[in-house]
């Protein structure tokens, strides 16, 4: 690689309550990165509760080898609840993007060196027909706002992974993804 070659590497932290689908969101980003031929890491972290406890994950998508899967400063941070916002709002790199679930988070003080995008994930999920697709709304917004993975590869991964598990919910997931992109 020469000095003129641009190395692609983007990172994500996604956090919220267990059951909000943040680990699935991270997996979909990782699978999309793999579909694009990139190196990826996905590192989940969650509390001992099955649902309702804390859950977050870190994802790195890179053209180069990934030295460590730990992300302390991310290009993009998604937070779905107030405790996650409090914990991760400062983990966005300068110039990065913070996407937050405006249905559950009171923003408060904001940084001037990052892009902040409010997404009413719960409301949109309910509008498209399932309160369980707020994570997919956020995924659409993330892809559009950050470019961490390509739109086409992400849509294909949604069809492959979510469509295989619950084909009846695939139209709702794809609609949620499109609605998220449209908000950015």
Model confidence pLDDT, tens digit, residues 78-89: 999 999 999 999
The rounded distance, in Å, linking the Cα atoms of 97 and 146 is: 7
User: In terms of C-beta density within 10 A (0-12 exposed, 13-18 middle, 19 or more buried), how is residue 106 classed?
Assistant: exposed
> In the 8-state DSSP scheme, what is residue 7?
P
The rounded distance, in Å, linking the Cα atoms of 140 and 162 is: 14
Tokens 């993975």 belong to: 149
Q: So what's the architecture of 9-182 in CATH?
A: 3-Layer(aba) Sandwich (3.40)
CB crowding 155-173: b at 16 or more within 10 Å, else e: bebbeeebbeeeeebeebb
Q: What is the pLDDT of residue 109?
A: 82
Q: What is the pLDDT of residue 3?
A: 47
**Is the separation of the CB atoms in 180 and 101 below 8 Å?**
no
Q: What is the Cα gyration radius of the chain?
A: 15
102 φ, ψ (degrees, to nearest 5): -70, -10
Backbone CA torsion sign across 6, 11, 127, 80: negative
> In the 8-state DSSP scheme, what is residue 80?
-
Provide the token pair at 120: 């009413």
Dihedral in degrees, nearest 10, Cα atoms 10, 101, 48, 87:
70
The rounded distance, in Å, linking the Cα atoms of 81 and 91 is: 15
Q: For the chain, what are the domain ranges?
A: 9-182
Q: Identify the bridge partners of residue 15 per DSSP, sorted by sequence position.
A: 56, 79
Weakly modelled stretches of the chain, pLDDT under 50 = 1-4
């Amino acid at each position: 690689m020469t000095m003129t070659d641009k190395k692609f590497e983007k990172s994500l932290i996604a956090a919220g309550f267990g059951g909000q689908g943040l680990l699935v969101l991270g997996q979909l980003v990782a699978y999309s990165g793999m579909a694009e031929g990139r190196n990826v890491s996905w590192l989940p972290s969650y509390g001992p509760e099955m649902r309702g406890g804390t859950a977050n994950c870190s994802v790195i998508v890179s053209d180069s080898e990934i030295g460590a899967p730990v992300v302390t400063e991310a290009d993009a941070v998604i937070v779905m609840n107030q405790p996650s916002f409090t914990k991760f709002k400062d983990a966005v790199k300068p110039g990065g993007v913070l996407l937050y679930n405006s249905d559950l988070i009171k923003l408060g003080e904001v940084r001037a060196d990052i892009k902040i995008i409010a997404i009413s994930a719960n409301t949109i999920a309910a509008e498209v027909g399932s309160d369980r697709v707020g994570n997919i709304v956020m995924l659409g917004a993330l892809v559009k706002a950050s470019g961490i993975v390509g739109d086409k590869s992400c849509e294909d991964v949604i069809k492959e992974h979510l469509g295989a598990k619950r084909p009846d919910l695939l139209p709702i997931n794809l609609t949620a993804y499109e609605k998220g992109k449209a908000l950015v």
